[in-house]
Amino acid sequence: MATRSKMSAPATRASSRTKTPTISPPSPPPAMKASKAKSSTRSTAAGTSGTKTTAARKQLAQKENTPEIKPTAPKKAVRPPVVDASSAEQEPIMAYLRIRPHLSDDEATSMPYLDPLSDTAVRMTDPSSDGRGAFGLHYRASMTPPSSIYRFSHVFLPATQQADFFAKTTLPLVRGLLDGQNGLLFAYGVTNSGKTYTIQGANTPGSGGILPRTLDVIFNSIDGLHSDGRYRPIRLIGVEEADPSDPTPPSIDIDVPSEPVLAEVLAEHMDTSDDSDVDADSTVIKLDRNYEYSIWLSYVEVYNEKAYDLLASVNDEQDKEGSVLPRSASNPAGHSAHPVLVTRKALTVKPSPASDAVDDTGAGSGGRYISGLKHFRVTSAAQAKTLVKLGQLHRRVFGTLANSQSSRSHSMITIKILKNHRGDRDDPSSVQISRLTLVDLAGSERTKHTQTTGDRLKEAGNINKSLMVLGQCMEVMRSNQKRLAQSLANPGRSDTRDVKKASVMVPFRHSKLTEILMDYFAGDGRIVMIVNVNPYDTGFDENSHVMKFSALAREVSTAVNNAPLPRVQASPTKRSAPTKPAPAGPPRGVTRKVTISSFGPGKKLSEAHLEVLEEDEEVEDGDQSEGSDDEPINPLVDALFDEIEGLRLRLYEAEMRCAIVEAETREEVMKEMEGRMRAVERTYAQRLMSEVERNERKMDAKIDMLHQAGLLGTAEKYPVASPSESETEDSRGNLSQGSHGDSSDSSSEFRMVADLPSSPLQGRGKRKTATSSRPITTHIPRLEADGSIPSAVDDNTDDAIFREVGGDEDEDIAIPSTSSGDSDDYVPLVPAPGKTKNQKAPPQAAPAKSAQRRSTKSVVSKLEQDMNGLVISGGVVPEAEDSIIILPNRRIRQETVELGGPGVEYVPGKGEVDTVKKKKRQLGKKTVVTEEQVEEVVGAMEQRALRGGSRQNIRRMARVS
């Protein structure tokens, strides 16, 4: 009867959270170690209830092979004696990670922070590795994004099927259950991570969860081995003779004639038409056929730190039949006013009496049970599943599952198996009881996500409290076990008994959840933890908290022994005294309003309104005495827990406020920056445009001068177009383009008659061209190869130019001043009206349209001829085609850049090229001159004018340029 210690230093086996990007080889998952202990001393190793010594009664599961051990004489002991921890079979909590698959298009498609490394390890990397930490704090550039590696007993990838998952995680527990061992499985994770899917599953084929599969396997395995149900479980580990009046599983018939809407809604929730046996798990565990079994089910909900029986009839007192349906408390006849009032009572959690076990020394008394919780015997998997469905309906009715699938309470389904040898049916001492509890925990850390307030905040606070206490229990157990392991490793240094005495009390009783489950942690079974994670969620912090929790859980060991043997009690009908009537007076409790609705494709939405009264649990006098051998609740610790919880809630609220303020500030700053950027962009564009215009006007002036000087093309005489004619053509857009807005004003005395040869800047700037009232002679001198004007152009030419353009030197040439007074604006020379030679008289009346068109056409054709005749010589392009390309000079670019200020680049316009060479290459035979060349020509003209021209000419030149 050897017992081995499996306890080792946590560091060697436990999940380690490594703050390093390197991947250390994954450690194999610790193998499940079946208990070899037959009946033995056992240790809780938890440090709270001390270590228990189980009485030795023949263990039925190993009856054939186990030497019978005579029961020891019952010892009267308030606290169980401490025994060496090495005598207990220890096993770490198994932690399995399940990664939820991608479900909808609304979610991100990649896993932003979770990276599966192997079958047992995942890496989590903070997605704010772009440099942003919490609250916008920046990591230094040199820092690598923080990542952690978490290890599990196994990592299940999103594609994992429910059947595989069940086989690897839960089947060993089911085997243990049938073999007489207790087990606890709980699903832990944030909201929407797949906990309920893991436990309950879905309705589609193959998607049945752990619970229905467990029921399937149990009933498959005990097929033909059902007992007659003469015993039934009571409390935590107790067994008593069954009473014929024991409640049968409640009916699920929906019958609320007075509340048709409610009946409809409930009926839809209870719809079992989807259920089919097609999805049933066919696994069979081979059992010794000398035994027979009875299966019992209970379903508990822990909500707001209170425990409720989900299988109890809602109005149990009034309706002994066990009707599922709520009935108005105000009118039991069923004709109630809306909303329907439903009541339920919280159950008290009490310490398990030592007398329930064969050994009075404390076996099984470390735990607590829910007083008044009903266990129903089920004889088939289908019946059990229907019962589970009923429990879920009650969760809906009472609003903790309301309309969304999101659970706001912890739910616990316990399957108890009573097993006895066929040959010893009448021997109560042959009965053995074992249990398996499946817990679907409420989503963790939901306050931040849902921006909860009011009642919801209280709910969240309680959820967080219970999960926090669960974490703290594990933490304390781990450190107690660590200390004990160290003391065992160095026996000479400290006395193990001293170490145990110094063990910190595990605060199981500080939350209902841990209080109900404490016996598992204290050494009554094997524990499996499922960690559900939704990697598409943005809740990195929350998920990393879950991961840390699981890392902690894996460092805790629990004792794995066969369940304690129950002492079978006489049937309550034979022994129990009549129950005390409930104290009179109004029930204490809280009332909530709940709306349950049902809708689906093709169905109309139906809603039922309920008012829920949740009565507080009764405090019985006997409670204190019953729990006298338990650790008393320390009010200071309780107060500290409350304080912690209060602070935690305040922290959440503060964080929420911070997050909102941060988001608002970011938006404001972004808007302001955007506005500023736009203003800068606008200013820059305006400056650029005005520069371009200014330069273009300058260039136009120079070209006009060239025209007027006869340096471009041959001398031709333009017919004078009437203002209306030029406007007509202008409006067609064929000739004039890009004129100033004010130049189109008919009152202006300047009219555009022709466009000049195309320029890279043409069309971007606006140009004023004077309507010449007299012919202009154009002449393009041949430029030398270096761009200079050849000597053949003599001074007389200039004189000729001025004579031609301005007529007589003494003749008045009107030089209009610009409206803006900007000296840069070019204003062409215009002869004073009425004083020019050859000037046609202005039309007296508006000409006929056809005449105008003819006249315009003649102007156009004339201009075209002129354009074709324009030739730039000087070796730039030997044979010009029909136009001259003038490239902007470097100086203009330079000026533009300078104007723009530091950091501004000159961005060539569309089609504008950087270099003359490039342009030449692109334009082939087109005539190309640079602005420098034009300037040189103008410069040469100015010099000549200065040398040989009259004062008048000089003045004119100066004003023009």
Q: Which is nearer to ligand ATP, 388 or 476 (CB)?
A: 388
Q: Which is nearer to ligand ATP, 10 or 201 (CB)?
A: 201
Residue 65, phi then psi, degrees to nearest 5: -105, -5
CB atoms within 10 A of CB 366: 30
Site string for ligand ATP, 647-676 (x = CB under 6 A): ------------------------------
Closest distance of CB 491 from ligand ATP, Å: 46
Three-state DSSP string of 174-198: HHHHHHCECEEEEEEEECCCCHHHH
d(CA 542, CA 863): 79
Write out the H or E segment, with its range, that includes residue 521: helix 512-521
Confirm if 305 and 462 have CB atoms less than 8 A apart: yes
Stretch that binds ligand ATP, among 188-196, 279-287, 651-659, 860-868 (CB under 6 A): 188-196
Q: Compute the CA torsion angle 100, 102, 107, 110 (nearest 10 deg).
A: 90
Segment 520-549, which members bind ligand ATP (CB under 6 A)?
532
Closest distance of CB 209 from ligand ATP, Å: 9
Quick one: which of 196, 434, 695, 889 contacts ligand ATP (CB under 6 A)? 196
Quick one: which of 59, 192, 464, 777 contacts ligand ATP (CB under 6 A)? 192
CB atoms within 10 A of CB 160: 15
Write out the H or E segment, with its range, that includes residue 500: helix 496-501
Q: Which is nearer to ligand ATP, 170 or 769 (CB)?
A: 170
Q: Which position's Cβ is nearest ligand ATP?
A: 194
Stretch that binds ligand ATP, among 194-202, 268-276, 467-475, 535-543 (CB under 6 A): 194-202
Cα angle 59, 61, 62 (rounded to 5 degrees) comes to 75
Is residue 409 part of the contact set for ligand ATP (CB under 6 A)? no
How many chain residues are in contact with ligand ATP, going by CB under 6 A?
18
Closest distance of CB 203 from ligand ATP, Å: 10
Ligand-binding annotation for 189, yes or no, is yes
Confirm if 811 and 833 have CB atoms less than 8 A apart: no
3-state secondary structure of 424: helix
Question: Locate tokens 């962009």: which residue?
Answer: 681
Q: Which is nearer to ligand ATP, 405 or 576 (CB)?
A: 405
Q: Which is nearer to ligand ATP, 542 or 704 (CB)?
A: 542
- In sign, the C-alpha dihedral spanning 726, 960, 896, 916 is positive
Closest distance of CB 277 from ligand ATP, Å: 21
How big is the chain, counted in residues?
Answer: 961
Quick one: which of 197, 308, 520, 906 contacts ligand ATP (CB under 6 A)? 197
Ligand-binding annotation for 196, yes or no, is yes
Closest distance of CB 123 from ligand ATP, Å: 21
Stretch that binds ligand ATP, among 185-193, 471-479, 566-574, 663-671 (CB under 6 A): 185-193
Is residue 250 part of the contact set for ligand ATP (CB under 6 A)? no
Ligand-binding annotation for 534, yes or no, is no
Q: Does a cis peptide bond (omega within 30 degrees of 0) precede residue 507?
A: no
Stretch that binds ligand ATP, among 186-194, 472-480, 546-554, 869-877 (CB under 6 A): 186-194
Closest distance of CB 304 from ligand ATP, Å: 16
Please tell me the chain's helix, strand, coil percentages from 3-state DSSP, rounded to the nearest 5.
35, 15, 50
d(CA 449, CA 426): 57
Is residue 406 part of the contact set for ligand ATP (CB under 6 A)? yes
Closest distance of CB 159 from ligand ATP, Å: 9
Ligand-binding annotation for 193, yes or no, is yes
d(CA 171, CA 164): 10
Ligand-binding annotation for 176, yes or no, is no
Is residue 194 part of the contact set for ligand ATP (CB under 6 A)? yes
Token pair, residue 72, equals 């020891």
Residue 864, phi then psi, degrees to nearest 5: -60, -40
Segment 698-717, which members bind ligand ATP (CB under 6 A)?
none
d(CA 545, CA 559): 26
d(CA 197, CA 710): 92
Residue 161: partners with Cβ closer than 8 Å, 6 or more residues away = 206
Is residue 462 part of the contact set for ligand ATP (CB under 6 A)? no
Ligand-binding annotation for 190, yes or no, is yes
Closest distance of CB 176 from ligand ATP, Å: 25
d(CA 620, CA 548): 39
- The amino acid sitting at 420 is N
Quick one: which of 34, 82, 83, 202 contacts ligand ATP (CB under 6 A)? 202
Closest distance of CB 395 from ligand ATP, Å: 11
Is residue 195 part of the contact set for ligand ATP (CB under 6 A)? yes
Site string for ligand ATP, 363-402 (x = CB under 6 A): ----------------------------------------
Confirm if 478 and 555 have CB atoms less than 8 A apart: yes
Quick one: which of 44, 51, 128, 191 contacts ligand ATP (CB under 6 A)? 191
Segment 267-296, which members bind ligand ATP (CB under 6 A)?
none
Beta-strand pair 568-569/238-241? parallel
3-state secondary structure of 92: strand
Query: Burial code of 228-265, b = ≥16 C-beta within 10 A, e = fewer?
Result: eeebbbbbbbbbbbbeeeebebbebebebeebebbbbb
d(CA 806, CA 773): 11
Closest distance of CB 180 from ligand ATP, Å: 31
646: left (phi over 0), alpha (psi -120 to 50) or beta: alpha
Residue 421: HSE in the Cβ half-sphere, 13 Å Cα cutoff: 13
3-state secondary structure of 934: helix
Is residue 410 part of the contact set for ligand ATP (CB under 6 A)? no
Stretch that binds ligand ATP, among 140-148, 191-199, 279-287, 336-344 (CB under 6 A): 191-199
Segment 437-456, which members bind ligand ATP (CB under 6 A)?
442-443
Q: Which is nearer to ligand ATP, 357 or 441 (CB)?
A: 441
| H-assigned helices in 231-375 | 260-269
Q: Which is nearer to ligand ATP, 201 or 806 (CB)?
A: 201
Is residue 949 part of the contact set for ligand ATP (CB under 6 A)? no
Site string for ligand ATP, 87-106 (x = CB under 6 A): -------------xx-x---
Q: Which is nearer to ligand ATP, 202 or 815 (CB)?
A: 202
Edge-to-edge, what's the strand order for the sheet holding 114-116? 114-116, 121-125, 147-151
Is residue 403 part of the contact set for ligand ATP (CB under 6 A)? no
Q: Which is nearer to ligand ATP, 38 or 394 (CB)?
A: 394
CB atoms within 10 A of CB 489: 11
Token pair, residue 322, equals 């066990």
Residue 775: partners with Cβ closer than 8 Å, 6 or more residues away = 716, 717, 718, 719, 838
Quick one: which of 120, 193, 298, 511 contacts ligand ATP (CB under 6 A)? 193
Ligand-binding annotation for 195, yes or no, is yes
Closest distance of CB 186 from ligand ATP, Å: 12
Ligand-binding annotation for 192, yes or no, is yes
Confirm if 180 and 562 have CB atoms less than 8 A apart: yes
Q: Which is nearer to ligand ATP, 442 or 531 (CB)?
A: 442
Is residue 466 part of the contact set for ligand ATP (CB under 6 A)? no
Is residue 762 part of the contact set for ligand ATP (CB under 6 A)? no
Q: Which is nearer to ligand ATP, 252 or 533 (CB)?
A: 533
Is residue 209 part of the contact set for ligand ATP (CB under 6 A)? no
| H-assigned helices in 133-258 | 162-169, 171-179, 195-199, 210-221
Point out the annotated binding site for ATP.
189-196
Binding residues, by number, are 189-196
Footprint of ligand ATP (CB under 6 A): 100-101, 103, 189, 191-197, 202, 405-407, 442-443, 532
